Amino acid sequence: KKLMIINGPNLNLLGTREPDVYGSLSLHEFLDTIAEKYPTVEIFHFQSNIEGELISKIQEVGFTYDGIILNAAAYTHTSVGIGDAVKAITTPVIEVHISNTFAREEFRHHSYIAPNAKGVILGFGLQSYELAIQSFLNK
Ligand code: DQA
């Protein structure tokens, strides 16, 4: 299995950014533990703060990979373009969020990605990503 984790804006600051909301583990520490835990899966990672780069990556992997785990961060709530990209590809996408976006500000309650995602996992901290990996593996 070949999975791609795509992280959007500001997620490069995981570990230092609002640790009470997003935890104290850095993205790379977390990805290392995931790689160790799932040695039989090829798990790739891409992070960008730039909307168009996220769209290009979704297009690039979206016809050949077995699954995409997408945390588009703030673009979740604003980007018609990322929503359209998810709709345009054939690889299933699981939308994930670290925080429970429904327990937060109203503007975080809407997602342009969710209507075209296979499913959404949110509110479990970094474990949200792991639950998405497990879902792809159980198929
Ligand atoms: C987030 C939730 C978004 O609302 C926010 O803009 C983020 C992170 C999360 O993983 O909880 O940057 O996607």
CATH number (3.40.30.10, 3.30.428.10, 3.40.720.10, 3.40.50.9100) of 2-137 reads: 3.40.50.9100
What contacts 24+ positions apart, CB below 8 Å, involve 102-107?
Answer: 107/77
Q: Does the beta carbon of 49 sit less than 6 angstroms from any atom of ligand 1?
A: no
The residue ranges of every structural domain in the chain are: 2-137
Distances (CA, A) of 72 to 1, 29, 131: 22, 20, 17
Radius of gyration of the chain (CA): 14
Q: 71 forms bridges with which residues in the sheet?
A: 7
Segment 38-89, tens digit of pLDDT? 999 999 999 999 999 999 999 999 999 999 999 999 999 999 999 999 999 9
Give the three-class secondary structure for 6.
strand
Site to probe by mutation for ligand 1, drawn from 27, 47, 108 as the one with most ligand atoms within 8 Å of Cβ, is 108
